[in-house]
Structure 1
């Protein structure tokens, strides 16, 4: 996270964190919608900073949901909020925690809420049985960093947000990370959009290790129209025309996008940025991107695979290597689920590894590729003298053994040669 989070929230080095940056001048007034971390809060003066803008609350309500409000004194640095401001005066402020629930266990810096165990060095005054709001940010390498844990009154319901996986529409269940969700009795906002990869906010009750949902809200890109949001770039495509922010928002970048404290070429996974965006033609478009770190953040791993697609019973692979497809995967050049099998494709995406060591390749873009091109570009791990199932006839992969590399190779349709990074 930014230096604010490092200094005032977490008394340890956070993986994937960068520098500070200004995020706008504190002397500059702000009118519009902001989505980001609280910083420099003064409860006595009723002021705080979001995305670098100094804002005045003047008694504006602090809303959560369903009529639940908190006092301004319960807002702390690091909490994520969505603010509508007029001339730097807050009109509405909505809390956006990653999860809300009861602390069921504490072991040193480790604590468990809603069956999810996390690490945070600032658990001062937090005890088992307390209700808390937890704010996290997903990092570019697939890990999650806790940036705020705040004790709150008994809310009466729990919340967990994150991407859907292992959706079973027949059993009305899915997972968020390792947490099982039963939505058989839930009101689902836009159920047609509920799919693997969709970002959801789930509210309900914990029953054992299962969250029994009463409500499931599916994130809609329209919600971010004309919004300035801060976060971590979790993926960038090779052509620098798309980024993914916070592991959830796909944002288009074009020649009209303005850049502050950096250039388009500086876009990279792991960078902390502030993005001003609008919703145009069913997509989020970045109108301005400001770099908020020094470029030293730990980056995630991106991959590029080229080859003949195998797609059967929902399973997608190239040369026997499985690649996940979800509702966030973008198909280009007329490709879709019906014609993907046997097509020659170029796939870009993210490599993730969970705490148990399980590896995942997640497709973000899939486009057609020329099967008979005599050159090929591949990015990924070289293991056993191969990359993405291809061997080199001239042994040019040998020097990259055990490394993650981005290679240009000659290609005869079966074997590689003259591979160089």
Structure 2
């Protein structure tokens, strides 16, 4: 895999804006290496642009897309996502990485539809139904998606969408709400194709059946991000601050050697806009430096922590009859796996997301063993009808949290909670 996808199309609450570029390095800084981020401060006449805060020169480097498709430099606009290899601020290679490409099938004010996906963007002037466009999005921590660029391009003869796989069977899967028929597709890394895997799908979109007939499916690999500086939104942080998820896709380790700019390790939180320099070590991405690029007032996501006896039957995982989704990106620690998960006492961390219909779901990111006989318990999630994660309290300590999403420490006798406090 060559491209590095970031934006999730699984969410639906979309907002329009003009981009969220971070400052990164100063314009005077020298950069040699790989960058992944948004175009900013572009000058078509001088063929210069900024990515992650670095002022870069093009001097004729081609703007490449897929399979040798090349676009002129003057079709680049601020907000488009690119991957660049630079040498002393000189662009050597540049590749476009849109979130989706296709024909506009509907426009209503600031709302438009491409490949069956409806989005909102306040910059559609000059774009009409029937035009081909590249759309760049970034996911927000609450599961919604921010459209940061929509650029008209020539008809390409193929469409693209990207995002995590769900509902995989032998012939189809979904990316967000779009059904993909991959029965006749060339699948890269077929063994890695599974629910939760991040894919880029190319093919033709059938508006009648609302199905993307795939000709190629590329499954992404962490090796693509080795020695890369990338920008994006933290979508999840584990409780020990040793792991983050970036852009709803990349799982990145944080350790005592990770350096922090404009913030501290304790400032890691879902919703923060950051730039991360990372390397691949022992098959895992490790952050060497994290720079905070916002004021800490970004949209926050909903994270959860559940503790209890796991039930895993017929591929369905529950704790206290509350279903938690497992996928190919779920990490099992302490020797746990699908075969021994059932009846184990576990702690689960993850994200709460909503789909296009507004239906919410818990998605497990990390599962580890927990001591069944601890007399205290930490739970994060909603308090509903006097319970949190199916546990009732023997006192009134949950009452004041009714209807709220909270992170609580409680006493626990193995069945009931008491003395819950945030």
TM, length-normalised to structure 1 = 0.95
- Name 1:60's counterpart in structure 2: 61
- Name 1:126's counterpart in structure 2: 127
Aligned Cα RMSD in Å? 1.4
2:221 pairs with 1:201: no
- Name 1:84's counterpart in structure 2: 85
In the alignment, structure 1 segments of 5+ residues that lack a partner are 1-12
Distance 1:265 1:353 in 2: 28
- Name 1:7's counterpart in structure 2: none
Contact 2:83/2:94 (8 A) holds in 1? yes
Contact 2:168/2:174 (8 A) holds in 1? yes
- Name 1:173's counterpart in structure 2: 172
Contact 2:16/2:121 (8 A) holds in 1? no
Superposed displacement of residue 15, structure 1: 8.3
Superposed displacement of residue 280, structure 1: 0.5
Distance 1:384 1:28 in 2: 55
Give the ranges of 4+ consecutive aligned residues of structure 1 lying more than 3 Å apart after TM superposition: 13-21
Deviations 1:28-78 (A, max 9, x none): 110000000000000000000000000000000000011100000001000
2:314 pairs with 1:313: yes
Distance 2:120 2:231 in 1: 22
Superposed displacement of residue 220, structure 1: 0.2
3-state SS, counterpart of residue 168 of structure 1: coil
- Name 2:216's counterpart in structure 1: 215
Distance 1:17 1:257 in 2: 31
Superposed displacement of residue 353, structure 1: 1.7
- Name 2:182's counterpart in structure 1: 183
- Name 2:299's counterpart in structure 1: 298
Deviations 1:349-390 (A, max 9, x none): 001123422011000000000001101000000000000000
- Name 1:261's counterpart in structure 2: 262
Choose 261-270 or 200-209, whichever is displaced more: 200-209
3-state SS, counterpart of residue 196 of structure 1: coil
2:200 pairs with 1:192: no
Contact 2:394/2:416 (8 A) holds in 1? yes
2:398 pairs with 1:397: yes
Deviations 1:163-204 (A, max 9, x none): 1011112xx100011100000000000011111111100000
- Name 1:228's counterpart in structure 2: 229
Contact 1:18/1:297 (8 A) holds in 2? no
Contact 1:39/1:78 (8 A) holds in 2? yes
Distance 1:76 1:155 in 2: 18
Deviations 1:56-109 (A, max 9, x none): 000000000111000000010000000000000000000000000000110111
Contact 1:16/1:270 (8 A) holds in 2? no
- Name 1:357's counterpart in structure 2: 358
5 Å-filtered alignment, 1:102-181, equals: 102-169=103-170, 172-181=171-180
Contact 1:38/1:50 (8 A) holds in 2? yes
Superposed displacement of residue 250, structure 1: 0.3
3-state SS, counterpart of residue 340 of structure 1: coil
Contact 2:176/2:355 (8 A) holds in 1? no
Distance 1:136 1:207 in 2: 23
Distance 1:162 1:140 in 2: 15
Distance 2:216 2:382 in 1: 41
In the alignment, structure 2 segments of 5+ residues that lack a partner are 1-13
3-state SS, counterpart of residue 223 of structure 2: helix
Distance 1:107 1:409 in 2: 50
- Name 1:38's counterpart in structure 2: 39
Contact 2:19/2:79 (8 A) holds in 1? no
Contact 1:240/1:253 (8 A) holds in 2? yes
3-state SS, counterpart of residue 167 of structure 1: coil
Contact 2:160/2:201 (8 A) holds in 1? yes
- Name 2:411's counterpart in structure 1: 410
Contact 1:18/1:294 (8 A) holds in 2? no
Distance 1:290 1:103 in 2: 37
Distance 2:308 2:19 in 1: 36
3-state SS, counterpart of residue 307 of structure 1: strand
Deviations 1:252-273 (A, max 9, x none): 0000000000000000000000
Contact 1:18/1:296 (8 A) holds in 2? no
Contact 2:18/2:149 (8 A) holds in 1? no
Superposed displacement of residue 18, structure 1: 10
- Name 1:10's counterpart in structure 2: none
Contact 1:230/1:274 (8 A) holds in 2? yes
Aligned residues, how many?
A: 407
3-state SS, counterpart of residue 414 of structure 1: coil
Seen in structure 2, the aligned counterparts of structure 1 residues 95 and 275 have a Cα distance that, compared at 3 Å, is: same
Contact 2:311/2:342 (8 A) holds in 1? yes
